[in-house]
Amino acid sequence: MAETTVLRDGLHFGEGPRRGPDGRLYYSDFYSGEVHALDLETGDDEVICSIDGQLSGIGWLPDGRLLVVSMLDHTVRRLEGDDLVLHADISDIATFHANDMLVDGEGRAYVGNFGFDLHGLITEVGIPRLLEPDFEPPGAALALVQPDGSVSVAAEDLKFPNGMALLADPTGESESGNILVVAETIAFQLTSFSVDRDGSLQNRRVWADVKEFGIAPDGIAGDGDGVWVAPALQPAVFRVTEGGKITQRVETTQMCYSVAVVGDKLVCLTAPDSHPDVVKQARLGKVEVFELN
């Protein structure tokens, strides 16, 4: 039995949930090309902006302007009035669809990308092939977009860089005092970096190997010294700490692909599958909520 409450359904495929400056949950719906804002208390849902394409990761500049990833043209868009204008072009870095994004307090955006046609590969060889020891997926680079829109490579050869979270550095060694944890979906691990004051990344290391738990980490959300991880292949969400310890598991109604912590609520965006053949035409996605306290 699921432990969550379904707050909203009728999505294609929800992605990028974040607590907005106004306290509402902001999220994108891949195949409707929309960004929504959802009041977690009343259930009221508002379409904030839309595009003829696919939208994914969400964040904000320090002045409150919304940033959102436009997947198919490998850009980050900025909401100016009612228009999504070009903020940055990462097409020289992204080798397939742009995807999740984390924007820090300085307005620097870290943007991942698929790296290759994952769903095409799954159609060809099936998910079990991804779990075989000799499977070696191509790597992808993580883009760093400065507040002025300039673009550089933050890290290379990540295996499908996906969800990200900023955590306090327990060692105190990073210049900024933070580490960036990145979900490498097809490596079945969480990888961390020390964050320098200019946003550059150093000291790459495996933060948690979660393959033994059948977790292909998709979206993640920071929570104290751990992260909540959407496992992609399971109808659940896991809280993981450094070293790969599972401290909590919450059951969802269907596969969970992205998560957010908003106040005392864990928000899970779920769908029966991630493959566009399943979710692009149908509206089977849900927003599910679990009370943390």
Is residue 244 situated within a structural domain?
yes
CB-based contact 228:262 (threshold 8 Å): no
The answer to whether 171 touches 190, Cβ cutoff 8 Å, is no
Number of domains the chain is built from: 1
Kindly state whether residue 293 falls inside one of the protein's structural domains. no
pLDDT tens-digit readout, 74-103: 999 999 999 999 999 999 999 989 999 999
Domain assignment of residue 94, yes or no: yes
* pLDDT confidence tier of residue 209, bands split at 50, 70 and 90: very high
What distance in Å separates the CA atoms of residue 50 and residue 14, rounded to the nearest whole number?
Answer: 14
Q: What number of other Cβ atoms are within 10 A of residue 86's Cβ? A: 12
pLDDT of 129-145, one tens digit each?
777 777 777 799 999 99
Determine phi and psi for 268, rounding to 5 degrees.
-120, 125
Residue 56: closest CA among 274, 265, 222, 211: 274
Whole-angstrom CA distances from 136 to 70, 157, 187 are: 27, 12, 9
SS3 state at 135: coil
Q: What average pLDDT does range 244-258 have in this prediction?
A: 98
Beta bridge partners, 16, equal none
Tell me which residue range forms the domain holding 41: 5-288
Residue 31 is part of a domain; what is its CATH number?
2.120.10.30
Q: For residue 137, list its beta bridge partners.
A: none
